[in-house]
Amino acid sequence: MEKDEVEMMDKTPLKKIEAWQGDITRLDTDAIVNAANQSLLGGGGVDGAIHRAAGPGLLAECRTLGGCPTGEARITKGYNLPAACVIHTVGPIYSGSPEDRRLLSLCYENSLELALENGISSIAFPAISCGVYGYPLKEASQIAIAATWDFLKLKRAESLKKVVFALFSQENLDIYTNGLKQLGA
């Protein structure tokens, strides 16, 4: 293989990742990720918005799942959402420990793994753990981008065509956009 081909292959995951500003509940991807709490029964922020937009069927299905430990992920139907599926993941409550980084990275890895297992070709993530769970956005964005990049590169996830970081504010979008630029976009 020529050197240029190797460099091109190494940047392939970057072509699949984008940052976008807007309401994740209106995004037309195969799946959206819910920054859920361990009960999976709804809450505030993105979690509450997703439950409200999806309608009562989402809550009813979530009741059958028995919750979700931090760092793991579960999948449900999307109900009234444009997305066919919701992948629920529980981020860590920020404490500043190295365990926070590991658990947040697992949220992205486990969500992407579920996407692959379920034939999902496009997925959107919110800024997991950055709301009431207190994770500093810049640090969380670096973890999110690195975990996603590594997953796509190592898994050679050909069926996964697009990963969107759906950010609510311009400030958040700028942080993720800058993080993606550091990878060479």
* Greatest pairwise CA separation for the chain in angstroms: 54
pLDDT of residue 14: 62
User: 94: which DSSP letter?
Assistant: P
Query: What's the pLDDT score for residue 8?
Result: 37
Average pLDDT of the residues of the chain = 91
Please check the confidence at residue 2 and state whether its pLDDT lies above 70: no
pTM score of the predicted model:
0.91
Classify each residue of 100-134 as buried b or exposed e, where b means 16 or more C-beta atoms within 10 Å of its C-beta: bbebbbbbbbbbbbbbbeeebebbbbbbbbbbebe
User: Binning pLDDT at 50, 70 and 90, where does residue 184 land?
Assistant: low
pLDDT for the residue numbered 31:
98
pLDDT at residue 5, as a whole number: 35
pLDDT at 1: 32
Q: Which domains, from first to last, does the chain contain?
A: 23-181 (3.40.220.10)
Q: Answer yes or no: is pLDDT of 79 > 90.
A: yes
The predicted-structure confidence for 102-158, as pLDDT tens digits, reads as follows 999 999 999 999 999 999 999 999 999 999 999 999 999 999 999 999 999 887 677
Segment 27-33 shows an average pLDDT of 97
Residue 41 above 70 pLDDT? yes
